[in-house]
Amino acid sequence: MTPLLKIQNLNFSYGEVQALRDVKMEVPEKSIVCVMGRNGVGKTTLLRNITGLEKPDSGEIQLGGKAMTHLPAYGRARSGIGYVPQGRMIFPKLTVEENLIIGLSGGGNQDTDIFDEIYDLFPVLQEMKSRRGGDLSGGQQQQLAIGRALATDPKLLILDEPTEGIQPNIIQQIGKILQHLVDEKDMTILIVEQYLDFVREFSHHFYIMNRGRIVEGGETRSLTEELVNNYLSV
Ligand SMILES: Nc1ncnc2c1ncn2[C@@H]1O[C@H](COP(=O)(O)OP(=O)(O)OP(=O)(O)O)[C@@H](O)[C@H]1O
Ligand SMILES: [Mg+2]
């Protein structure tokens, strides 16, 4: 079966510094795939190339068998890629609801019916819909960032370290919601995550990056202590 996302020989440099080297990756439909690796190995850079925020030097990115590499970021959002950036990046001065409306327009969609689904998943957002984003707690802001990405009704949801700085019960809740999106909404999820318990509990496949390269990958049950010691623990 064709994977939903397929990346071939992707190279990317920040000026002289090569940050991605021959990256190859496949994300099967209706799966949760996790990208891991120490700080600075290129995880965020990879996601920014997939979402179109950076332009690769060479290589190809396909979504559902169609080449995406030439499309700008808004074109990729309209083709079904939703993005939750590292550090959440919600609009602090806008209300929760206004943040969601911005997500909606990013996907080229005008229909606010999807807000009901988002509020079902994250009741706290409904309770706080008139509050300014910047006044939410870190965990609530993360839920808002995910909600905003869901407003585009994506096929592929990409998240960059959603558990960073968040307390365990909210982490667990986010994991359960991702599972629900895959099981009930046919969504596919690519997630950068360093929190090993989360990866083991919620992901189906993993990739490990080191210095801009994919160095390991497989089913999550084959993520051994040896790999963790070699590539992940500090
Ligand atoms: N805008 C930029 N200009 C120049 N170099 C950059 C830029 N952004 C990132 N880099 C460099 O590219 C490399 C990869 O950075 P990236 O942010 O992708 O790492 P990461 O794996 O996401 O790290 P972290 O776990 O800390 O989030 C690093 O060496 C970083 O210093
Ligand atoms: Mg990063």
Cα–Cα nearest to 70, from 58, 83, 82: 58
Look at residue 121 and tell me if it is in a domain. Answer: no
Give the number of domains in the chain: 1
Look at residue 147 and tell me if it is in a domain. Answer: no
User: Do 158 and 51 form a contact (C-beta atoms < 8 A)?
Assistant: yes
Neighbouring C-beta atoms of residue 177, cutoff 10 Å: 16
pLDDT per residue as tens digits for the range 182-217: 999 999 999 999 899 999 999 999 999 999 999 999
Distance CA 191, CA 172 (A): 15
Q: What is the pLDDT of residue 111?
A: 75
Integer CA distances (angstroms), 42 to 49, 87, 100, in order: 11, 16, 29
Look at residue 220 and tell me if it is in a domain. Answer: yes
Look at residue 138 and tell me if it is in a domain. Answer: no
pLDDT per residue as tens digits for the range 113-160: 889 999 999 999 999 999 999 999 999 999 999 999 999 899 999 999
233 pLDDT higher than 80: no
| Site residues for ligand 1, CB cut-off 6 Å | 14, 17, 19, 37, 39-45, 86
User: Do 200 and 171 form a contact (C-beta atoms < 8 A)?
Assistant: no
Q: What is the pLDDT of residue 234?
A: 64
Average pLDDT, the chain: 93
Ligand 2 is an ion; its neighbours by CB within 5 Å are 43-44, 86
2 confidence band (pLDDT: 50, 70, 90): confident
Q: Whose CA is nearest to atom 17 of ligand 1?
A: 44
Sheet holding 66-67, edge to edge: 17-27, 5-14, 58-63, 66-67
What CATH number is given to the structural domain containing 226?
3.40.50.300
